[in-house]
Amino acid sequence: MHCRTKRQMQNAIQVCNRRGRYDLKGYCAVCGKSMYRLGGWEAVAAAARRNAER
C-alpha cells in the first residue's frame, strides 16, 4: 500500500502522452511509489503563480 495524498514529486521528467500533450512522471518523496500528473512544467508554474497571488 502506498500513500494516496498529494506529495512532492522527486526525479520528475516531462513525458508526452498519447494525445500529444505533456505530463509529469516521477516518484513520491515519502514512499517512493511512482507518480503521474497531468500537465507539464507550464501547468506546475501556473498553479504556483495562482497560489502566490492568494
Contact 22, 16 (CB under 8 A): yes
Contact 33, 2 (CB under 8 A): yes
Task: Evaluate if pTM is beyond 0.85.
Answer: no
Residue ranges of alpha helices (H) inside the chain are: 41-53
pLDDT at residue 1, as a whole number: 63
pLDDT tens per residue, range 8-20: 889 999 999 999 9
> Could you say which residues of the chain have pLDDT below 70?
1
pLDDT at residue 4, as a whole number: 77
